[in-house]
Chain A
Amino acid sequence: DAKTTQPTSMDCAEGRAANLPCNHSTISGNEYVYWYRQIHSQGPQYIIHGLKNNETNEMASLIITEDRKSSTLILPHATLRDTAVYYCIVRVESNTGKLIFGQGTTLQVKP
């Protein structure tokens, strides 16, 4: 399975952009990068996903490097409600689509 490496924790000031990095150096060509977050033990919330190109939606932007070995999730204007554990997941196509969650990054947004 393609593994991901994320920092254990990060802080961000409210109103500033939060940039969450993820390394996935063993990713294969047809494997997608997914981002989810879990707010205080609620169900994981889908944020965004991508294959090669950068992606943007109403929640966040996903920047994937050209070699696809790393990516960055960007929350453009973090709020206190964005405090959560953020999971970067490489979905392995041969794994029947199941998601392998790591420990994620605990993002603390501070006033």
Chain B
Amino acid sequence: NAGVMQNPRHLVRRRGQEARLRCSPMKGHSHVYWYRQLPEEGLKFMVYLQKENIIDESGMPKERFSAEFPKEGPSILRIQQVVRGDSAAYFCASSLRDRDTQYFGPGTRLTVL
């Protein structure tokens, strides 16, 4: 059973460009969480989604960030007009049910030049 998959693993963008990060949950999991880890800092929750629904986006920056988890396909975290401060590791986790154990992917490391 494949684990949580994230791609790309590394992403380089120039300031002002868009970044799209993808997360494929474990097979059978319909709950996805996104976390961000800034350099030398801890992991911070960003957003929790179920299929076609955003359940909790209390950790999402108010501007430029959005997330979706469509009925078909991976969950997408989208960052518009990236700035240097967006450089971080972005981790996705999935769970089978609400409030169940979360399993993390390997992360996407975003570097903004």
Contact = CB atoms under 8 A, between A and B. Distances in A.
Nearest to B91: A43
Contact of B99 (A41, A97, A104): A97
B61 to A, nearest CB: 16
Contacts of B98: 96-97
Interface string B39-73: 00011110010000001101100000000000000
Q: Binding site of B, secondary structure by majority: helix, strand, loop or mixed? A: strand
A92 to B, nearest CB: 10
Interface string A85-100: 0000001010111111
Contacts of B48: 96-98
Interface residues of B, number: 28
Contacts of A101: 35, 42-44
B74 interface: no
Given A43-B91, A49-B101, A91-B99, A100 B107 contact: no
A44 interface: yes
Given A97-B95, A99-B102, A42 B107 contact: yes
B89 interface: yes
Nearest to A38: B43
A69 B96 CA distance: 28
B33 A98 contact: yes
Given A96-B48, A101-B43, A46 B99 contact: no
Interface of B: 4, 31, 33, 35, 37, 42-45, 48, 55-56, 58-59, 89, 91, 93, 95, 98-107
Given A46-B101, A97-B31, 16 more contacts: A34-B101, A38-B43, A41-B37, A41-B107, A43-B104, A44-B93, A45-B104, A97-B95, A98-B33, A98-B58, A99-B35, A99-B43, A99-B45, A100-B45, A101-B42, A101-B43
6 contacts: A44-B93, A96-B99, A97-B33, A97-B98, A98-B56, A104-B42
